[in-house]
Every structure is written in structure tokens, then in C-alpha cells.
Amino acid sequence: MEPRRLADGAQGVSVALPAPRVWLLALRPFSFTASIVPAVFGGLLAIALRGRFGVPQFHVDLVAFAVTIVGCVAIHAASNLVNDFFDHRSGVDQPDNFGAVNVLVRKLMDPVHVSIEAAAAFGVAALCGAFLAVRAGDAKWPLVGLIVFGALSAYFYTAPPFSLKNRGIGDVQVMLSFALLMIFGAFYVQAHALVWVPLLDALPIGMLVVDILHVNNLRDLPADRAAGITTVAIALGESRAKLVHDAYVVAAFALTVALVVFGSLPVWTLLVLLSFPAAIKLGRAVDAIRAPDVDPLIVVKTARFHALFGALMIAGLLVAIATTPR
């Protein structure tokens, strides 16, 4: 896939311009379900909980709902690009490990182009956040705090001086950013209510989004050890890290059942139990990992399971909303 070139008449030089497919590839769109699911779930959860647990009655704002999804995907894309930029610069991603999917490692883009695309993604996220803050009126300040935290989290997940991913706390950051706070933010955009229930209801999806990172780190054990970085998978070792994957999946199902019993999730969200056979299949695939001989699609498979579980959870909310008298 050769980059196109634009002539710079003023300077008399040519500047490589990646093809549109390369710009899209750099965003890693296959991963976007990790931000779409919480954005949709949070908005629908607010609707499902109207009039309960301190959530006021409100009119659904479909425009804000759509902008929230776009904003969450944009900040996710920005985080992906920043991650590729700094993992390439630090040498974590190399042609002989799974970092070879990095567009910089593959020489499909150069760092300037990745930086420009990351800035554009941050810009889209900022515009969405500004729109939602203005639309929230006097209730905007909690939302502003969430937006600022999300932007800083997306950047410093990989970027120095914090490099959260490389210090063994990436799992905590992902739970906060892609589960608890993203779901709560989408909830707050609709309900404008500071209540604790959405944070509990976010936990099942949160377990599985963290599992995506965990399986990624399990896959990358040899490369991460060579790079001298710290992850939970490295600290535990291959065998125990596989058990943590199992624990995340079991916790997702168990928490869903408990939250239904508690009453904060509608009974229809038990549709997630239909994904149990897929969980068993994924568990066998993870257990089969023997570094460095690893299924190259294991992280994609984990992300697909998160998407399936999330889609069933969302379907359960939709059925509950449709069948509940208002």
C-alpha cells in the first residue's frame, strides 16, 4: 500500500501522504466496540432507570446521545494513535513482535502524520465535549470534569512521564476510562444526576473491557519483558494470568446476575447468559496460549466477546425500556 505524494510547489519538495485506507487503519476501528458499547449502554441505562434510585424523569436527548457516542469513539481513536506513537518511539513495538501491526512499525505512516491524526481525533472529541457541556447548561461541571479526565487519561495511558500502561496500572486506567466513567458520563449526559448506581451497573462491561487489555498483555509477555515494562500479566506469569482472564469473565456474569437481583439492572439484561458458550470457547483459546506461539487473533476474539456481551446487555435494556409503562 504505497502512500500518495503531494507536490509542495513553494518548497519544491514532495510530502508523502498516506492513502485513506491507511489513515483508517491507524485508528484501529476494529477496537471501537470497546467505546461504542459503554457509550450506548450508559445512555440507555439512564432511560431504564428514570424515576428510580434518585434518577429524575427527563426527556431523552437523541442528539446528545449520538454526540456522546462520537465523542467516546474519537477519544478512543486518539488513545490508539498516541499508544502507537509512543510504543514505536520507545521500541516496545517491533517488526518481530505483535507490535508489527503498528502503522509506524510497518512504515505505512510517519510520526508526523500519526501526530496530526491524533490531534484531529482529540479535536473531534473536544468539540463533542464542548457541545455536550453547553447543552447541559448549569449541570455541565461534572461533565466537564469527566471530559478533562478522559482526555488526560487517553494521552498519558502511554505517553511519558506517566506511561500508565507500562507501570502496571493500565488495567485500572482502562476500567476507569472505558467502563466506569465512560458509562457514567453517557448516563449523566441524559439524566444530569449524580447517583452511584450507574457505577455499579458498569462493572460487568468493565470486567470484559479490562480483559481485552489483559489478554493483549498476556499475548505480549515476551516482548513486554524484553522492553522492561511492567504489566499485571508479567507480574503474575503466564499460568496465573490465564486464571485472571477466567476470573474477569466469571465476574462479568456473576455481577450481572447480582445486579439484576439487586434491581439496578432489568431482568432482561440476563440475555447476556446467551453468550456463555462463547465465553467457554474464548477461555479455551486463552488457555491454549503458549508464548511465543500465540494465536494472532486472540485479542480480536476477546474484543468480539466483549462486544457480544455488551450487545446482549444493550438488547436487554432496550426490551426493558420498550416494555416498561411510563
Percent of the chain residues topping a pLDDT of 90: 75
User: Counting every residue, how long is the chain?
Assistant: 326
Q: What is the pLDDT of residue 15?
A: 45
Could you give the CA distance from residue 198 to residue 181 in angstroms, rounded to a whole number?
9
pLDDT in tens, 79-102: 999 999 999 898 888 887 776 688
* Cβ contact 240:304 at 8 Å: no
Q: In whole angstroms, how far apart are CA 84 and each of 70, 119, 155, 207?
A: 21, 14, 11, 24
- C-alpha 115/C-alpha 191 separation (Å) is 36
Residue 110: Cβ-neighbour burial (10 angstroms; 0-12, 13-18, 19+): middle
pLDDT computed for residue 318 by the predictor: 98
Whole-number pLDDT of residue 198: 96
Whether the bond into 204 is cis, omega within 30 of 0: no
Residue with cell 507480574: 235
- The confidence score (pLDDT) of residue 303 equals 95
| pLDDT above 90 for 270 | yes
- Determine the pLDDT at residue 100: 63
pLDDT value of position 166: 82
294 pLDDT more than 50: yes
Residue 293's DSSP bridge partners are 290
Average pLDDT over residues 260-285: 97
pTM above the 0.85 mark?
Answer: yes
Q: What pLDDT was estimated at residue 91?
A: 82
Residue 61 pLDDT > 50? yes
Q: Would residue 143 be called left, alpha or beta, if left means φ above 0 and alpha means ψ between -120 and 50 degrees?
A: alpha
**Can you list the domains of the chain with their CATH numbers?**
19-323 (1.10.600)
- Which carries the bigger pLDDT value, residue 295 or residue 184? 184
Please tell me the predicted confidence (pLDDT) of residue 220: 87
As given in the structure block, the three cell numbers for residue 204 are 460487568
Letter string b/e over residues 225-263, b meaning 16 or more CB atoms within 10 A of that residue's CB? eebebbbbbbebeeeebbebbeebbebbbebbeebbeee
pLDDT attached to residue 3:
46
Is the confidence at residue 271, as pLDDT, over 80?
A: yes
Whole-number Cα distances in Å, 162 to 5, 59, 130, 140: 36, 41, 26, 28
